[in-house]
Amino acid sequence: MAMEKLDETVKLLGGLESLRSGPERDHLFNDCVTFAAKLQKDKKSETIDSITQLYDLAAPAADGDSQQVNYRMSRAKFNRDFVQEGSLATAVKLYQDILSSQRLRVVPLTDDEAGGATQAAQVAEKMIGEVKKIKPEAYETFE
């Protein structure tokens, strides 16, 4: 039911390829990321498809640098939490997207370990390091 409502919202906003900017688009993005995060907390394998669908909607709905970073960080966390074939390499790619964009690199994020705000690039680099510890070959295409 919830996915049907989100799909309906996408249609009202012009379709995935041409979502109109504005508060409705922001609301769509926030709903997708929030629902996905809630499902992730349960860590149930049967929710993987639903979480994937939510992130697939969130990606085109992300409409600013902050939302772009939020999407990439959230989806990468999903890919790390629910490890499947290629998911860690996908997480690294999402972090690399942040590192390769000057606009995204400087978006402020909260770093729990640092105890405050930091730039997205620093968090992305730290997360890549964590993935490399788990599966070094996930980073091979970027070396």
Taking only the tens place, the pLDDT of each residue in 27-65 is 999 999 999 999 998 878 788 999 999 999 999 999 999
* H or E segment to which residue 119 belongs: strand 116-119
Taking only the tens place, the pLDDT of each residue in 58-82 is 999 999 999 999 999 999 999 998 8
> What type of residue sits at position 11?
K
What lies within 8 Å, CB to CB, of 121 at 6+ separation is 98, 99, 104, 105, 106
